[in-house]
């Protein structure tokens, strides 16, 4: 990690994270950066937290909370669409508004990449990024991802379709 990047710690989701998870998952402004555009009930999220096996081979995903050096939650990072045969998965992250533009995104992408390589032994991570999301595109490029393709009408925000850039990091 470079000197400017803040320290982060990735940890499992705990029951006490439910309220924050509920706010994030139901924030309509974030729906255009992910693959969902429906609200989640508190019950559904509680059930997810309670029943996730915390085993990527069982769940085909892993979701972690991101804390800073003070123990404050600064965001969430996901590894989803896990493909064990080809040793690849999709990565996504949300940095809370109060912590944006402070280097946390870079720290999180670096930490999740190290986890994917050294713990999960993945060959690659990929992300689909809206072509207009210059901050995310810059973040992934800075962390060693390459732009592999532009996919037309890939993301739907509830009103219109957006092209997405497929970003890949091969380890």
Q: Model's pTM, two decimal places?
A: 0.87
Per-residue model confidence (pLDDT) at position 34:
57
Reported as a single tens digit per residue, the pLDDT across 106-121 is: 999 999 999 999 999 9
Rounded to whole angstroms, the Cα distance separating 120 from 141 reads: 22
Instruction: Give pLDDT < 50 ranges for the chain.
Output: 1
Q: Tell me, what DSSP letter sits at residue 144?
A: T
Per-residue model confidence (pLDDT) at position 50:
82
β-sheet bridge partners, residue 127: 167
Per-residue model confidence (pLDDT) at position 51:
80
Per-residue model confidence (pLDDT) at position 108:
98
Per-residue model confidence (pLDDT) at position 133:
94
Per-residue model confidence (pLDDT) at position 112:
98
- Inter-residue contact 13 to 65 (CB < 8 Å): yes
Per-residue model confidence (pLDDT) at position 13:
93
């Amino acid at each position: 990690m470079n000197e400017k990047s803040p320290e982060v710690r990735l940890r499992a989701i705990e029951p006490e994270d439910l309220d924050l998870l509920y706010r994030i998952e139901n924030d309509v402004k974030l729906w255009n950066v992910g693959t969902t555009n429906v609200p989640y009930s508190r019950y559904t999220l509680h059930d997810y937290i309670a029943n996730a096996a915390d085993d990527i081979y069982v769940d085909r995903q892993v979701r972690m909370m991101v804390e800073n050096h003070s123990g404050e939650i600064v965001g969430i990072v996901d590894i989803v669409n896990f493909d064990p045969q080809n040793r690849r998965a999709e990565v996504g992250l949300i940095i809370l508004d109060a912590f944006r533009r402070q280097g946390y995104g870079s720290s999180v992408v670096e930490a999740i990449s190290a986890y994917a390589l050294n713990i999960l032994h993945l060959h690659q991570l990929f992300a689909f990024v809206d072509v207009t999301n210059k901050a995310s595109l810059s973040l992934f490029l800075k962390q060693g991802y390459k732009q592999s393709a532009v996919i037309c009408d890939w993301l739907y925000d509830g009103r219109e379709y957006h092209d997405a850039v497929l970003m890949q990091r091969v380890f």
